[in-house]
Amino acid sequence: MERALDRWLGERRDTLRRIAERGTYLDEEDVDRLLGLSLPGADELAGLLELTRLARESGARETVVDTAPTAHTLRLMEVPGLLQRFAGILDALGERHRILAESFGKGGRQPDLTDELIAEIEEEGREMGELLRDPARASFAWVLLPEALAIAETRDALAALDEAGIPVSEVIVNRMAGHPGEMEAVAEIREAFGDRNLRFLPEFGREPRGLPALRKVAKALSQRTPGTPRTSRTTRTKASPVLDVLGVPGVLEVLVPSGLRLLFFGGKGGVGKTTCAAAASLVLAESQDVLLLSTDPAHSLADVLETPLGDDERPVPHAPRLRARELDAYAAFQAWRGRHHDELGGALGAFAGESRDAVEKLLDITPPGLDELVALSSILDATEEDRLVVVDTAPTGHALRLLEAPELALEWDRVLLSILLKYREAVSLGRLAAELVELSKSLKRLLALLRDPARARFVAVARTGELPRRETLRLLDELGKLSISVPAVIVNAADEVPKGFPKGCAMITAPAVYPPPRGAEALAGWARTWKQQP
């Protein structure tokens, strides 16, 4: 994806530089520094650019896309509008040059490459949006498990796609295993999504891999009703009176030594990381103050805890020392932008000259990577207090993007501050520069915290299938490159650890239960059945 974005920017870099030089007071060196910075949240932009290129150039009858998990799929669908707004900003930056050229140029101003680029970007955004909303050319199949959390997440996602005018042609219910109570979930699915094409896939026992197994899945997709229920090996759990926390003695110490400040839970979508994070937090809060913070935009934390949550710290019933919060990145960014509107407008106006329209459009745009940027700020604030912060992250790719964000934000902070200082005679530094200096100090403290295994750790959550195992291994490799400690892997819905998992950290198994535990009592009871494997 990075190569796709680099290619797209590379083909347009000279023209973008020309627009910036014409529309701002920045010199060529400063423009190049800004264009050379990594763009936060570039995955969705690069992804959709590459997908539309493949659809246009590959010659294939159809392009099938396996998207990221829920929240970032919805971000992907917002890219066309983002491109059109970006074209509007470029157009506004070029307005002053066009006026001068028309006033003083001989024979009037002729369109040039900058005009062509602006029109091209606007057209790309418009065509993408039209393609996604055209049911004759694009369709969306939504996949979920027959579980309460998955149903709630699907309701929200389909409502957002409907509002955006993007057609969802069918809903696929995966891994129907005939658990007791599973038909209740099916009934709820039929009631909620019965106006769409519903398909049901059975639990195949072994994870389907390779062409023969995948052909069986394709054949099963033609069925419109659930397959024959299988006898479930899982059971419903109750809270255990045993006082040993997290199973056998010593497991808690493996996860959370004394003095730990930050504990991340993450893994592939659907492995149960939110349930594990909530269960561990409830037990940990029996002996210390804990904040459980969800940074996944597709929040499930409130559903798991069975208590209303929002973008503020709220107490969790039956857990006096536990508070929980679901980040609302968009609302937080709107509030921040409101507080700094005049300062930002003044600084941008100083660089953009008379192009007030460009300034207002810049202030109005929602930046890519918003979820990670707001989560980063919230984690910075949360770690200032004397307590353990447990972070329920988005699935793997975006959890890594969050952990890479401090370095990226520090790079942006340094460049922006140096530009402000360079033009200090034209720009009133004021509070904005002071905040950039303080941000730099905070980011350095956070980076030091993340790399200190005595104060910050990441618990990877996996399942026994081959695909979750491989993604977990990639996650551990990337965390190693970031110098972030991984004390343990929790293998969910397992009684023993299958072959192929890493040897360098503790392996903890969490038994399978159906339905998955919800509410403080069931979660804490389930956590006490976790076991550290020899």
How many Cα neighbours within 13 Å face the side chain of 529?
A: 21
Question: What is the arithmetic mean of pLDDT over 472-483?
Answer: 95
Residues 79 and 46: beta-carbon distance below 8 Å: no
What is the rounded CA–CA span in Å between residue 396 and residue 382?
A: 22
Q: Supply the angle between the helices 113-133 and 2-23 in degrees, to the nearest 10.
A: 140
Least confident span in 5-19, 125-139, 514-528: 5-19
Residues 503 and 530: beta-carbon distance below 8 Å: no
Q: Is 391 strand, coil or helix?
A: strand
What is the rounded CA–CA span in Å between residue 262 and residue 434?
A: 27
More confident position, 409 or 40: 409
For 157-183, the pLDDT digits (tens) are 999 999 999 989 899 999 888 887 788
At 334, list the tokens.
């709107």
For 364-407, the pLDDT digits (tens) are 776 667 778 788 888 988 988 999 999 999 999 889 988 998 99
For 426-468, the pLDDT digits (tens) are 666 667 778 788 888 888 999 999 999 999 999 999 999 899 9
How many other C-beta atoms are found inside a 10 Å radius of the C-beta of residue 19? 22
Q: Where are the domains of the chain?
A: 1-136, 140-220
What is the rounded CA–CA span in Å between residue 475 and residue 456?
A: 16
What is the rounded CA–CA span in Å between residue 235 and residue 103?
A: 79
End-to-end CA distance of the chain: 40
pLDDT at residue 292 in the model: 97
pLDDT at residue 6 in the model: 63
What is the pTM for the complete model shown?
0.80
The answer for 178, left when phi > 0, alpha when psi is -120 to 50, beta otherwise, is left
For 36-46, the pLDDT digits (tens) are 777 666 677 77
Pairing outcome for strands 140-144 and 168-176: parallel
At 115, list the tokens.
């005009």
Q: Supply the angle between the helices 356-364 and 329-352 in degrees, to the nearest 10.
A: 160
What is the rounded CA–CA span in Å between residue 82 and residue 67?
A: 19
Name the band, by pLDDT with cuts 50, 70 and 90, for residue 1: low
CA dihedral 260, 470, 508, 481 (to 10 degrees): -20
Burial class of residue 250 (count of CB atoms within 10 Å of its CB; 0-12, 13-18, 19+):
exposed
pLDDT at residue 41 in the model: 62
